[in-house]
Amino acid sequence: MQFFHFPPEYREIDVLQEQPGRRLVLLENQKRKQKLLWRCSNRGNGDVYESLCGIDHPNLRPVYDVCSEGNTVEVLEEYLEGKTLSAVLQERTLKKTEVKQVMIGLCQALEALHGLSIVHRDIKPENVMIGEKGQVWLIDYDAARVMDGKEQETRVLGTPGYAAPEQYGVTACENTADIFAMGVLLNMMLCGEHPARKMCHGWAGHIVRKCTRMEPKKRYRSAARLQKACRLLPGATA
């Protein structure tokens, strides 16, 4: 069932993804020549998207409208021109300056999300977009939830290897779950391996180890603190 009814000037260009419980469609407003992304999912969290609706942040995908009923959430978002970090990493190795830029951009995105009491819970290369001019966006909030610090996780959401231990129902999931994934992501960008198999050296290795501590309280306590550490990574100042 579709809740959104688009005016005639909206034209469907392409179906970007279609699988059970999830559909992504690229639309174009022919009057404004603006591309938009329509998302329909039975795994999304309407409260998260409603909190993000109207938020203008350089590292988050703009959300324009949200409609939810039961477990079904429909979202109208801006279409971003660029490639996923996953696609970029398949093509080439990132320069240290680029790794630093990605980490700082994602930290800024997380500061905004965590400031709204939202934990992303699925940070991975597929959910990071890199623009043609080097912009960095954290995308796809279907696994995100509003933090309350009380409820233990009852279903596993996230990606194995990137998901923190508490996302498997060990304890309540907080912003430090995203910090864990950021450490794994940094290691993957620099070494091409999960830190459990190969750890980065030097200051980057220190950051990865602190991010991926098993106990959440031993990780960086905020995205702002992680960003401060990432600004000391080799490379030009972002």
122 an active-site residue?
yes
What is the pLDDT averaged over residues 205-213? 97
pLDDT at 154: 45
CATH fold for the domain made of 82-230: Transferase(Phosphotransferase); domain 1 (1.10.510)
Q: Which two tokens stand for residue 128?
A: 């990071």
Q: Which of the 8 DSSP states describes residue 39?
A: E
Query: How many whole angstroms separate alpha carbon 79 and alpha carbon 24?
Result: 11
pLDDT in tens, 147-195: 875 555 545 556 888 888 787 765 567 899 999 999 999 999 999 999 9
pLDDT at 30: 86
- Do 230 and 104 meet the contact criterion of CB atoms below 8 Å apart? yes
* CATH (residue range 10-78): 3.30.200.20
What is the pLDDT confidence band of residue 87, given thresholds at 50, 70 and 90?
very high
pTM above 0.85, yes or no: yes
pLDDT in tens, 41-72: 887 788 999 999 999 999 999 999 998 888 88
pLDDT at 238: 40
pLDDT at 168: 73
Check pLDDT > 80 for residue 235.
no
Query: How many whole angstroms separate alpha carbon 193 and alpha carbon 200?
Result: 9
pLDDT in tens, 102-134: 999 999 999 999 999 999 999 999 999 999 999
Active-site option among 122, 140, 142, 178 = 122
Query: How many whole angstroms separate alpha carbon 190 and alpha carbon 201?
Result: 10
Extents of the domains making up the chain: 10-78, 82-230
